[in-house]
Structure 1
Amino acid sequence: MTHPDSASRFSNRVDDYVRYRPGYPPALWQWLHAQHGEPVDSVVADIGAGTGISSQALLQAGHTVIAVEPNAAMRQAAEQWLTPDWPRFAAVDGNAEATGLADASVGLISAAQAFHWFDTTAIVPEWKRVLAPGGRVLVYWNSRLLDGSGFLRGYEQLLLDYGTDYSAVAERYQSDAQMAAWFGSGLQASAQFANVQLLDFDALRGRLLSSSYAPVAGQPGHAPMLAALRALFDAQAVDGRVAFEYQTRAFLGTLD
């Protein structure tokens, strides 16, 4: 991965990540399977699977899933969560540029919420190697909306005020144009879907602390950040919750 600490920067945030990160909207999977014909029994390599949020959704859809995750704490969390109930799930220690998977072993590569950490040049030959003939790549993110409500605007300002390297990380997300260029002629479809979490204060706090750029306890800015979060919540909550809104962006295609 291109960022020197990309594989380790979430290690002390696993519990919050598991509990408070959003899933993906059902419309995404309908789009993939019903509109674009991805077989529900295809084997999926879920690259950068983290704690298994995307892997669970793929398992529920019917896929066999191999989660590829370099962070040991996150990979262990995924295994503890998914292995007991899903015999079609396995997790391996690997990264996007060196998955450790066999040649032509998967029909779909899933990259959810992690693509911006990858070396987007180095992954191409590796992903071509592990994809079976005709196999495809699905890249998707929950992109937090920055505007549209007082809460969303206030939350963005809070991250700008207190995030340790927020601006640098935020700028890593690829634009639609960058994704189209990366897929090139192989791009088959792209789409956007609404997604939202309704969070009470404890869940909002956990959602914030799951972010790699939020200072943790003992770091400068942690206490004032949480005080600012409390003030924002108190000012914007409706019936004890705030709407944490996303746009789920998805790109599907082959690697020609």
Structure 2
Amino acid sequence: MTTTNSTVRFSNRVDDYVKYRPGYPTEIIDFLQHDYNLTTDKLIADIGAGTGISTALFLNAGYRVIAVEPNLEMRNKAIELLGTLPGFKAQDGTAEATGLDTGSIDAIIAGQAFHWFNAETSRVEFKRILKPDGIAVLIWNERKIASAFEKNYDELIIKHATDYVKVDHRNIDPEHIGAFFHPQPFQSAVFQNKQVFDFDGLAGRLLSSSYMPTKDDSGYEPMITDLRELFNRYQQNDVIAINYDTKVYVGRL
């Protein structure tokens, strides 16, 4: 992989992304409805929507969602998967230039995407498209690194990745989030999430990350060999779990 352009780097990973990326807990909806009165008549813009994982969470809860995604392959996959659902619309655009109307959006969501945005420019754009009392919701599934397997899995990623340390979403910490929402306050919440995989699923999950070698890269076979050894060491009943803290940051701009 030679490109670091966030708008194209997932183009060759769409199928793995759809199959193996984690969804988001439905408790996020309850949280936003309770704390921010985000009723289902509100219009949502999912910025950096990708294949529509976060879009689907809100569509399935009864919201109208505009999925804004610059990557053609990912946007087309979202249309394929979600196009028949009521309330769904897909649009080409970026966080910095969404193409949405001024003051038209009740809530912006960004699932596993904000770390790709230019925070300063996207803040101006978000503020433009949000209604006066609108909210921005930044969401990440953050892998836990607590158990022996989780620690070794992270070490495997660091060993074989191309630019994991550079793009790792753990670089988005409360200080960066606070700077984005400043001078307004923001609220955070954490929900538990997990995936359970056989070996093929674990390999697919690994390959869904943009910083890992693909099957066409020279580093692929050594990576898969290490992954097989890791799976065999820690699997129970031929499956293994990846646990996440789903972190949600909410505020007004």
TM-score by length of 1: 0.94
**Structure-2 residue corresponding to 1:135:** 134
Contact map agreement 2:43 2:64 (CA 8 A) in 1: yes
In 1, Cα distance between equivalents of 2:22 and 2:178: 25
CA RMSD of aligned residues (A): 1.4
In 2, Cα distance between equivalents of 1:154 and 1:172: 17
**Structure-2 residue corresponding to 1:79:** 79
Contact map agreement 1:187 1:251 (CA 8 A) in 2: no
Determine if the alignment matches structure 1 residue 33 to structure 2 residue 33: yes
In 2, Cα distance between equivalents of 1:28 and 1:87: 21
Gaps of at least 5 residues in structure 2 are: none
In 2, Cα distance between equivalents of 1:112 and 1:49: 7
Determine if the alignment matches structure 1 residue 101 to structure 2 residue 108: no
Task: Summarize the alignment of residues 141-220 of structure 1 with structure 2, pairs less than 5 Å apart.
Answer: 141-146=140-145, 148-170=146-168, 173-220=171-218
Residues 42-51 or 233-242, more deviating = 233-242
In 2, Cα distance between equivalents of 1:238 and 1:172: 28
Give the deviation of 1:154 after TM superposition: 1.2
In 2, Cα distance between equivalents of 1:20 and 1:136: 29
Contact map agreement 2:178 2:186 (CA 8 A) in 1: no
In 2, Cα distance between equivalents of 1:233 and 1:24: 25
**Structure-1 residue corresponding to 2:115:** 116
Task: Summarize the alignment of residues 228-247 of structure 1 with structure 2, pairs less than 5 Å apart.
Answer: 228-247=226-245
What is the identity, as a one-letter code, of the residue corresponding to 1:65?
A: V
Gaps of at least 5 residues in structure 1 are: none
Give the deviation of 1:173 after TM superposition: 3.2
Give the deviation of 1:103 after TM superposition: 1.1
Contact map agreement 1:94 1:100 (CA 8 A) in 2: yes
Contact map agreement 2:70 2:93 (CA 8 A) in 1: yes
Deviations along 1:5-56, one digit per CA (max 9) or x if unpaired, are: 1100000000000010000112222111123321222100100000000000
Deviations along 1:38-86, one digit per CA (max 9) or x if unpaired, are: 12221001000000000000111121000000000000000000012x1
Contact map agreement 1:59 1:89 (CA 8 A) in 2: yes
Give the deviation of 1:172 after TM superposition: 6.5
For the structure 1 residues 39 and 185, does the alpha-carbon distance in structure 2 shift closer, same or farther, using more than 3 Å as the test?
farther
What is the identity, as a one-letter code, of the residue corresponding to 1:236?
A: Y
Give the deviation of 1:188 after TM superposition: 4.0
Contact map agreement 1:59 1:88 (CA 8 A) in 2: yes
For the structure 1 residues 243 and 182, does the alpha-carbon distance in structure 2 shift closer, same or farther, using more than 3 Å as the test?
same
Residues 26-35 or 129-138, more deviating = 26-35
**Structure-1 residue corresponding to 2:67:** 67
Contact map agreement 2:136 2:252 (CA 8 A) in 1: yes
Percent of aligned pairs with the same amino acid:
45
For the structure 1 residues 161 and 4, does the alpha-carbon distance in structure 2 shift closer, same or farther, using more than 3 Å as the test?
closer
Give the deviation of 1:166 after TM superposition: 1.1
In 2, Cα distance between equivalents of 1:137 and 1:69: 17
Determine if the alignment matches structure 1 residue 14 to structure 2 residue 19: no
TM-score by length of 2: 0.95
**Structure-2 residue corresponding to 1:53:** 53
- Stretches (4+) displaced over 3 A: none
Residues 73-82 or 31-40, more deviating = 31-40
